[in-house]
Amino acid sequence: MSKAPPTIETPKNSVAVELPMKIASGRSLASGFEGGENRMRIRLFKRQDGVCIGYAWFGEGAEGPPQHVHGGAVAYVLDEAMGSVAWMNDFPVVARKIDFEFVKMSPLHTDFLIEARVLRTTEKNVYVQAELRLPDGTPTVKANGEFAILTRKKINLLDASKFDPKGLLQNPTLKGAKEA
How many domains are contained in the chain?
1
Residue 57 pLDDT exceeds 80 = yes
Residue 90 pLDDT exceeds 90 = no
Kindly report, residue by residue over 113-163, the tens digit of the pLDDT. Answer: 999 999 999 999 999 999 999 999 999 999 999 999 988 777 777 765 655
Q: State residue 74's pLDDT score.
A: 96
Q: State residue 88's pLDDT score.
A: 87
Residue 2 lies in a domain: no
Residue 5 exposure: Cα atoms within 13 Å on the Cβ side: 22
Residue 63 lies in a domain: yes
Residue 59 lies in a domain: yes
Q: State residue 178's pLDDT score.
A: 63
92-45-82 Cα angle (round to 5): 45
**pTM metric for this prediction:** 0.80
Average pLDDT over residues 9-18: 69
Residue 26 lies in a domain: yes
Residue 58 pLDDT exceeds 60 = yes
Kindly report, residue by residue over 38-47, the tens digit of the pLDDT. Answer: 788 888 898 9
Average pLDDT over residues 80-106: 94
Residue 168 lies in a domain: no
CB contact at 8 A, 159 and 166:
no
- In sequence order, the β-bridge partners of residue 43 are 55
- Burial tier of 90 (Cβ tally within 10 Å: 0-12, 13-18, 19+): middle
CB contact at 8 A, 141 and 101:
yes
Range of the domain at 76: 14-159
Residue 114 lies in a domain: yes
Residue 5 pLDDT exceeds 50 = yes
Q: What is the CA radius of gyration of the chain?
A: 16
Q: Write out the chain in H/E/C secondary structure.
A: CCCCCCCCCCCCCEEECCCCECCCCCCCCCCCCCCHHHCEEEEEEEECCCCEEEEEEECHHHECCCCEECHHHHHHHHHHHHHHHHHHCCCCEEEEEEEEEECCCCECCCCEEEEEEEEEECCCEEEEEEEEECCCCCEEEEEEEEEEECCHHHHHHCCHHHECCCCHHHCCCCCCCCCC
Residue 166 lies in a domain: no
Q: Which CATH number covers residue 81?
A: 3.10.129.10
